[in-house]
Amino acid sequence: MPEEAVTTLRAELDRFERAEEGFALLEVFLDVGRSRLGAAVLDPAGLLLPDGMTEDRAVVQGLIEDLEREPAGKSRVVERDFDLEDAQARWDYVRLAYSSRQATVWSTRRRTTYFEVHERVRATYWLPDSLKAEYFEAIEARGWAVPDDWLTAVAKRPKPWWKRGGFR
């Protein structure tokens, strides 16, 4: 059975009129995709508030300070997990993901990345067609507009595993 086509959607905060639009879209995604989503993790080291954040600055700064007070683990890889079944944890993750150097939302089997923020600058969704359709419907059901470039983005079929490279 061939894999579903996947659409890449750019989601940097500076592409929205207000940063809160990007947060709201991520919040909808986490709600819609919950049954398919596994881990939502971020690097808690060096969290910085996004420049464009207008609302909730003080609350999110408090979240950052709380994370900074948590004891650091002994492993070299620093990762903070968020429980996507918990509404408050989802809210916290949404606000902190864009403050992090690295934040990722994985599929249930942790083989597929659905969302990632990299170096607080780049943010990307990689959505299989079925999840993208559910996500767009949920955005529109809230009376919001799906970004135009997301509507015109072309889905691509993943390469077969033997053509993906790294297998020598």
| pLDDT tens digits along 49-102 | 888 777 788 888 999 998 888 776 666 557 889 999 999 999 999 999 999 999
Number of alpha carbons in the 13 Å side-chain half-sphere of residue 1: 1
Query: Going by C-beta distance under 8 Å and a sequence separation of 6 or more, which residues neighbour residue 101?
Result: 43, 45, 46, 118, 119, 120
Backbone angles phi, psi at 157, to 5 degrees: -75, 135
Flag whether pLDDT at 2 surpasses 60.
no
- pLDDT at position 111 is 73
pTM: 0.86
